[in-house]
Each structure stands twice: as C-alpha cells, then as structure tokens.
Chain A
C-alpha cells in the first residue's frame, strides 16, 4: 500500500520535473489523442442513436400500438426471455445487450449453435436410357450441414443427406486440429481420400452426375464412404505441398467393399502433390490406393469366397484463374484413371476406367464444360461403357445455380442412351466455403 503511494508520488514528481518542452509536447499529444477518442466516441454514439431511432420509427410505423386494456389483469412476466451477449463479444460488431431466446431460459444462449445450411439438388432427365434410367423429376438430395468448433482442439462437421427414400449421414466426423507434427486426424463417417471425385459432395461437382468410371468401379454416387479414422500429414518438401493420407475403415462401402467380420477392414492411402506454376496457374497431382473385402463371396450371409478388391488411382487437375479477373474467367481441367482388381468366382477381373473433363468460365455467371467417359465394368472387364457430356451452367448468385447437361452413353451391353439432364441447385443458411 505504502509502496504504491511512494511510486505514485515518484511518478507525479517525474512528470513535474520532466523538461517542460517535452512535457508540453506530451500534453499536447495526449490532448490530441483524447480529443480524437472523444470524437470517435461521439461519432459512435451518434451512429448508435441514429440506428436506434430508425428501429424505433420502423417499429412504430410497422405495428400500431394496441389500444390500452386497463381491465386485463397484468400477466406474469415471462421468465427470462432474453440473454445477455457473453462478455468479450462487445465491440466485435455483433449483437449487443439482450438477445431473444426461443424456448425456455434453461436452454441458455443459442450463440454456440453450429453453422447450418441446406442445399437442395433438384434433378430432371429427358431422353431415353434403358440401362440406368433416372426419374424424370426428382429432388435428388437435400443436404443439411451442421458445422462448428467443438473445443480448442477439434471441430465437427455433419452432412445429412435427405433423399427420396430416406435420410443418411453422408458424412459426420470430428477433425482434430491441434495435433503436433503437422498431423490432421478425422474420426467418423468420411468420404475416403480416394482420388478427387470420391471426396466431393454432389453439389460441388462440375456436372449433374458422376463419371461412368465412378459408377462402374467406385460405388457410384455414394463412393467409398465409411466409418473409420483418417490420418494425414504434411510432408516437408520445400515449396511443394505434399500431403500423405492413410485411412482405416470398417470395410462397408456398397458394392465395392463389404465386411462380415471385424478383421475385414478396408484401407485407403493417398498422396497429393500441389504446386503453383504461376500465381494464376497451378497443378494438383495425386495417387490413391484402396483395399478391402468385396461382397462377391457372400453366400447366404457367409463370406465363402473371402474375395478382396484392390483399387489404384491417379488424378491430375490443372487450374488457371487470372487473379485480376478471377470473378470472370477460369479454367479447370481434370482427369482420373482408376484400375480395379476384383477377386470373384472364376478369377480376378482387371478393369480400368477414366474420365477427362474441362470447364471454362467465360463470363461472371456462365460456365461451359465437357467430359469424356470410358470404363470397363468391375465384374466383367470385357463390357466397356463409353460416353461424353457437354455441360452449361448459369449462376444467378453464389448461392444458386442452374445447369443443363447433354449426355451420350454407349453401354457395352445395351442400347446407346441420349439424354438431356438438368439441375437446379440452391443453398440457404450459413455461407459455406468455396471448394478447391
């Protein structure tokens, strides 16, 4: 106590004995600073008052005051229908003061609710396809996403896909973001890191459908999506981005992998290299591996065959986006080649397939693209499906898109299909990140 007093006195003395010129300059400086602060506060206060007045005017204008009802008994005040904004958030430009709470007070603040969004994917098809017919009109998928930070060490992402036949957790995983040594771990149901298309949700594809090779060799729309653990690490490679991913799954992914006992896990490995060639052009290369037990050997629920499927893939993506005109023009060229070795009764089938596509944005809202398809069937490599598509996409805004796709498919075991597919896609809710 005494020491503080002495220190204070010393401080006062120091100020008093300081050279007068310096002190005067300091004082002038401080005065100016204080004046600035006052001006700023004044301005903020005026802004605030103006905003409140505007709100008041809107309220008075919009809802005429009800006539007084003196006879009515005073209703008990509703139990805590507002909550205070947590301390520390003031000044961040968010809400201040009391926030309304919907529900009981015990629910507490809703500030920690996850970011929510719904993406509607409406598909239509015309033309003739007898091998793989799609409905004429369909709300193919309504994807609900719920995403938030769990704690200082992790975040969680859920993607629930509501289709015409039911609901499915498309993905639901925890990401550990605070691990040492550049590790990143995901735990949950995850789209496996096999190539490019397998990792993408429907709404970020540059087409209305998935390539034929995905349909034939990698379980179609659902792809390799399974419960498991994914570990990835950045490898030191100078200016090159090099990422290695290893994943272990239960071993259930539609017609690619099926597990009948705990030991029958599926394994996925992926190596990704990325390099900026110039500031507008970059290249992204990947190699993938997947291995697991397939469902072919299953006879009345018993895995007699104990057959496995092994997949290899390589992918390449070339992007060009001139930075000063990034919102008007870009080009993305992609290709994936996939090899499937599938054991089955009668021997192993060695199948191969690929797609190659290019998409060019030629105006702020317009994209044109094309895709070539070629793939053997997984269970009979002598049947080869080939096809091609032309795609035109229009973006009214970042949050909606209209797409038309002409698709021609020469099926190896059926008549050629000529179809026109179209899509309306729309997103509400939290602003999701643009995929890369």
Chain B
C-alpha cells in the first residue's frame, strides 16, 4: 500500500519536475520566428520551426509530424495575417493541446505589434487574386519589425517562465544591440540606391523595400498567387523599359523562366533573395538574413545602376 502511494506521488510529481527542469517548448511556424525565439530564449527554450525558409509559406502541407510537434508545444508563434490559413487550422485542431489554441496562453501572433503594409481598403474579392484581407503578411522582412516581434516573444516567454524573465530581457537587449549595429551597416550599404526602381515576383518585399527606399514598380505575378501570363509579362517588360528598371527579385521557391525571359528583354538581371531565414544556406539566423540579402541586393544594384 505504501509503495503504491509512493509510486502515485512520484507519478503526480513527474510533470512538475519535468516542467521545473525543462525548457519552454517553442514551435514557430516559420524559421524567421524560430530564429527570433532562439535569440530571446537562448538555452531556456527549445525551438522547432515548421515551414522551411526555402518553401512557399502559403503552401505548406499540414503533415502529421507537425501535429506531433505542435502537440508538445508550450508556445506557438505564428506569422498571422492569414499567411498560414491554408495549413495551420487543422494542425491546431488535431494538436490536442489547449495551451496553443488561439484562446490559449501559449499562442502568440507575431503580427499584433508590428508595422503592417498594404492593408486593403474598401471591398475586396478573390478577383484580385489571393489577397490578404488584414494586410501583407511578409512583414518580418524589416529589422524594426523583427525587433518588435522579439519584444513580443520576450514578453510571452517571461509571462510563461517568470523565473527566467531577467535572462530573456538580457538576451533581448543583446539581440537589440546587434540588430541596431546591423541596421547601421545595412543603411550605409543601401544608401546609394534609394529610389532605385525594381520588380519582384510576389509581393513578399514591401517592408524590406520600404525600409531602404527602393521602388517596386511591378510584379511578375499579375495578381497575388496567380502565375505569370503572357499578356502581363509583356506589360512588365514595357513598364521596366519605360521606367528604366533593370532588376528582378525572385523568391527561391518560384520558377525562374519568366523572370529570366523578362530580364533578357530589358537587358536586366534576375536575382534570388532569401525571404526567410534558411532561404539560402548563408541566412542562418535573423541578422544573417539581412546581412545576406542586403549585400546581395546592393551588389546587384551596383551592377545594374553603376553606382
């Protein structure tokens, strides 16, 4: 009887012990959010990212292996703005984890405190393509927003693990300092190209281009999520010729055929930039993502503008 009681006590105590020693189990829907969670959480968290950086984040398979990851999560960090609408809801339903449901304490929508661009005004319909009714979800591609996401993560981690609050605050401050130093470098590199006109494949870059004053004059896609058409491609070529734009920026998950054909027509250049951490092997974390993108873009702009 006594052994039984002892055993029962042990079993009851197990979860408590595990929690006291264990790290916060964090699942991020993208590698960008995963990287920011690592920056803030350090060795007090263990982070899993679902979508890979070289994958189109709109079209991710809700694999059962993701259910497994989400079912164990203490915190789920999502991009929001309907980016994951096609794959996250079934994962949440099947996760059997009340902590990370939208009403749960462990659910963090990273978009709640950031600067969002392209929020549609007026009536929207799907004739406009795959529009996001609550604004462009590619907002992480701007260091200021990255800082705000990191703040939200710091606050969430501190709320769930108050004993480590000062640790998270210190990690955040350190990240903030490195990011600020990075911003200075990137601002200097990009300064000569302010106002340069270019074209992108999808509307993934409004925050990035806005930050460094670049002017996106057209998209290879006729409408968001709609593949290129011959008619629209001709329009893009004409527009690029008219405005003297020479550069086409493409995400790693799109076919290069149409962008290349356009570049040939206008005597320009196609380049693949990483829209996310992990989008290229050099973009190992959030700061390296900008290090890579800014340097690559500046090099290409130098080539086409001669500045």
Contacts and interface: CB of A to CB of B under 8 A. Distances in A.
Asked if A pairs with B, the answer is: yes
Interface residues of A, number: 53
Interface stretch (A74-82, A86-94, A125-133, A348-356): A86-94
Given A175-B93, A326-B55, A152 B252 contact: no
Please indicate which of the listed interface residues A175, A234, A279, A399 has the most CB atoms of chain B within 10 Å of its own CB: A234
9 contacts: A54-B121, A93-B119, A177-B101, A241-B65, A327-B254, A397-B226, A398-B130, A434-B62, A434-B86
A324 B253 contact: yes
Contact of B113 (A91, A324, A428): A91
Given A44-B115, A93-B135, A431-B85, A279 B52 contact: yes
Contacts of B116: 93
Interface stretch (A105-113, A179-187, A204-212, A371-379): A179-187
Nearest to B180: A32
| The 3 nearest A-B residue pairs measured at CB | A178-B98, A93-B134, A241-B64
A433 B91 CA distance: 10
Interface in A228-268: 233-234, 239, 241, 243
Interface of A: 36, 40, 43-44, 51, 54-55, 58, 91-94, 149, 152-153, 155, 175, 177-179, 182-184, 233-234, 239, 241, 243, 272, 274-276, 279, 282, 284, 319, 321, 323-328, 364-365, 397-399, 428, 431, 433-434, 436
A323 B52 contact: yes
B186 interface: no
A127 B254 CA distance: 41
Given A93-B116, A149-B102, A153-B98, A234 B134 contact: no
Interface in B64-91: 64-65, 67-68, 71, 81-82, 85-90
Nearest to B88: A433
Contacts, number: 128
Contact of A43 (B71, B89, B115, B122): B115
Given A54-B121, A175-B93, A284-B64, 13 more contacts: A93-B116, A178-B98, A241-B65, A323-B52, A326-B60, A327-B59, A327-B254, A397-B126, A398-B86, A428-B126, A434-B59, A434-B62, A434-B86
A323 B279 CA distance: 11
B227 interface: yes
Contacts of B253: 323-327
A177 B98 contact: yes
Contact of B68 (A234, A321, A397): A234
A341 B267 CA distance: 70
